[in-house]
Amino acid sequence: MKAALNVLMLAALLGGSAFAAEKTWTGSISDSKCGAKHMAGEHGAKMSARDCTEGCIKGGAKYVFVSKGKVYNIDNQDYAGLAEHAGHTVKLTGEMTGDTIKVSNVVMPGGKKKKT
């Protein structure tokens, strides 16, 4: 009986840890082609991080989030704030599972919240 109770408690603890809590990070919205670095001349001309990200997304790349040099995948690619803040430094809120974030909010640091 005690062993069964221990197994149930362990299952409850492990099951509860599978759900990621929302967290907020500061970083930039980039693209999967360029990641953490938008190289000058990569697209034939010098362009801003925003222009580079938008161009790569149009070319089939995916949005990514770069924080402290690490590149994270973004689960919900259709989140409206991604296009709006492409190439910008932002505060991104969401749930991380592995190296993938499901975005729930994106705002400019010190700016008003953008709800979408």
% of the chain at pLDDT higher than 70: 72
pLDDT tens-digit profile of 38-89?
776 666 667 899 999 999 999 999 999 999 999 999 999 999 999 999 999 9
Q: Is the pLDDT of residue 17 over 70?
A: no
Gyration radius of the chain's alpha carbons? 18
Instruction: Tell me the domain boundaries of the chain.
Output: 20-107
3-state SS, the chain, equals: CHHHHHHHHHHHHHHHHCCCCEEEEEEEEEECCCCCCCCCCCCCCCCCHHHHHHHHHHCCCCEEEEECCEEEEECCCCCHHHHHCECCEEEEEEEEECCEEEEEEEECCCCCCECC
Give residue 1's pLDDT: 57
Q: Which CATH architecture has domain 20-107?
A: Beta Barrel (2.40)
Residue type, 57: I
Average pLDDT value for the chain: 83
